[in-house]
């Protein structure tokens, strides 16, 4: 049976720590291997991308494989051909699928009907590769992740959901601040708490950020939500991560953002460009972590 990476919980806790350590090693030693030599990985993207696409294409090549990029507008996926049919066909052509799409159910269909590994490069529900890279970024500064407080300020979106799962696997304390009506999925939150995660949820950014070691946020309107921009601007008023909010965090707290950022909305220019901002390390670490995830899948 192939390994799949649809959410962080797909990697057992003990193996997740090893993946984290391997990603750090790959970064420090600029690792190249021939693990994927002779293998072709199809990158199926229904959503536009910069960091995810480039980091995966480069990462696959660093492991000796061949990435093939497929944009939804250039294929029959989700149009005249059912996804379950495409899964069976593509399994006969390639050795893996890296998919950036809308519904998580699309990935589940590819897993059910295909017989090659599927990697979640982003869905509306989860963004596990990004959060695993964020784990590496935080680990580089505070190796005992179980001792830190992580704050999430903003939408209870795919990033928030994967941070919730990450709290199960890596044991950090997670404090979320989301406007009313924009909270994370109740089932995802309840499952994580049932698995022992320490997670608080409120609509008060100051409460969430108080004493936090890392403060994360994201755009208020993600891809596919552009028509809600004005509505969300009103709902998220007071949720900007600015100097006043960061002052409530720990003295040496770091600011993180998955990018692209909308300065003057979810984060102020001053915070984004401050010494506390480690967003470029986050972006770089996508490459190293995705290589480690691919190694976990194909080893």
Residues with catalytic function: 100, 127, 130, 218, 258, 286
82 known ligand binder = no
Which phi and psi angles does 290 have, rounded to 5°?
Answer: -65, -35
274 known ligand binder = no
222 known ligand binder = yes
218 known ligand binder = yes
DSSP codes of every residue in 126-187: --HHHHHHHHHHHHTT-S-GGG-EEEEES--SHHHHHHHHHHHHH--EEEEE--TT-PPPHH
- Residue 64 to residue 286: CA distance in whole angstroms: 18
- Partners of residue 152 on adjacent β-strands: 176, 216
223 known ligand binder = yes
Instruction: Give Cβ neighbours of residue 246 (< 8 Å, ≥ 6 apart).
Output: 209, 215, 253, 255, 271, 276
135 known ligand binder = no
18 known ligand binder = no
162 known ligand binder = no
51 known ligand binder = yes
**What distances in angstroms separate CA 286 from CA 31, 176, 293, one per listed residue?**
14, 23, 10
61 known ligand binder = no
259 known ligand binder = yes
Instruction: Give Cβ neighbours of residue 107 (< 8 Å, ≥ 6 apart).
Output: 4, 6, 99, 101, 118, 120, 123
173 known ligand binder = no
- Residue 272 to residue 245: CA distance in whole angstroms: 13
Structure tokens, 76: 């029959």
Binding residue numbers: 49-52, 76, 100, 127-130, 158, 218, 222-223, 258-259, 286
Binding residue numbers for L-ornithine: 158, 218, 222-223
Binding residue numbers for carbamoyl phosphate: 49-52, 76, 100, 127-130, 258-259, 286
């Amino acid at each position: 049976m192939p390994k799949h990476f649809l959410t962080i919980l797909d990697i057992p806790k003990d193996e997740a720590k090893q993946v984290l350590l391997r990603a750090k090693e790959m970064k420090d030693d600029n690792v190249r291997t021939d693990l994927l030599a002779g293998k072709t990985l199809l990158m199926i993207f229904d959503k536009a991308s910069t960091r995810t696409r480039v980091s995966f294409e480069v990462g696959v090549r660093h492991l000796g494989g061949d990435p093939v990029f497929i944009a939804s507008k250039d294929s029959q996926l989700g149009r005249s051909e059912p996804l379950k049919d495409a899964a069976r066909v593509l399994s006969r052509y390639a050795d893996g699928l890296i998919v950036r799409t809308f519904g998580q159910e699309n990935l589940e269909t590819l897993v059910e009907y295909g017989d090659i590994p599927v990697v979640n490069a982003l869905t509306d529900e989860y963004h596990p590769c990004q959060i695993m890279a964020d784990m590496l970024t935080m680990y580089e500064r505070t190796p005992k992740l179980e001792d830190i407080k992580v704050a999430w300020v903003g939408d209870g979106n795919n990033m928030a959901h994967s941070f919730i799962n990450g709290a199960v696997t890596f044991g950090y304390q997670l404090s979320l601040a989301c406007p009313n009506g924009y909270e994370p999925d109740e089932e995802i939150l309840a499952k994580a708490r049932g698995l022992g995660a320490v997670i608080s949820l409120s609509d008060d950014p100051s409460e969430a950020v108080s004493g936090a070691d890392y403060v994360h946020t994201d755009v208020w309107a993600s891809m596919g939500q552009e028509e809600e921009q004005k509505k969300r601007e009103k709902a998220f008023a007071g949720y900007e991560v600015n100097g006043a909010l960061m002052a409530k965090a720990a003295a040496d707290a770091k600011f993180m953002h998955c990018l692209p950022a909308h300065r003057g909305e979810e984060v102020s220019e001053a915070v984004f460009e401050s010494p506390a901002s480690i967003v470029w390390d986050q972006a770089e670490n996508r490459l190293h972590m995705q290589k480690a995830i691919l190694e976990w899948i194909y080893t």
